[in-house]
Amino acid sequence: MKLYKEYKIHAARFLSKLPGDHPCSKMHGHTFFVKVLLSGEVKPENDFVIDFFELDNLFNIHVFKILDHSVLNEVDELSSPTTENIAKWVYNRLKSVLPMLSSVTVTEGGSYGCIYEGE
């Protein structure tokens, strides 16, 4: 069984590895959508793969409280906060507390994003 939950994070960043004339090299903000995909068996004691309340708590502790309304470049291990690096960072933060994690998708807009499935 697969299930997912999508979260919204507001944050600022600049992409320092880009040339100075690139608009993303300057500080700017985004609303990021983070989709967490889990795979597992339904537990007979509650008929859940995971209780969404539990998933929300884990996401809030390990991701949301750190990233929301922050400057992503100042977050440990996220000095180059590309969409790709954000997806990898979120995945790595959650995998140890959510072994059933299959992938993390991060989008900045409706037409582009990144899916990270671990290494």
Active site residue 108: yes
Mean pLDDT of the 42-56 span: 97
Q: Which residues contact 91 (CB under 8 A, 6 or more apart)?
A: 101, 103, 104, 116, 117, 118
Mean pLDDT of the 84-104 span: 98
10, 22, 28, 69: the catalytic one is 69
- Residue 88, pLDDT > 90, answer yes
Q: How many domains does the chain have?
A: 1
pTM of the full predicted structure? 0.95
Domain range for 104 is 2-116
Active site residue 69: yes
Strands 2-13 and 28-39: antiparallel
Q: Tell me the CATH number at 73.
A: 3.30.479.10
Q: How confident is the model at residue 110 (pLDDT cuts 50, 70, 90)?
A: confident
Active site residue 24: yes
Mean pLDDT of the 69-92 span: 97
pLDDT at 119: 84
- Residue 42, pLDDT > 90, answer yes
For 38, 60, 62, the CA distances from 52, given in Å and listed in that order, are: 11, 12, 15
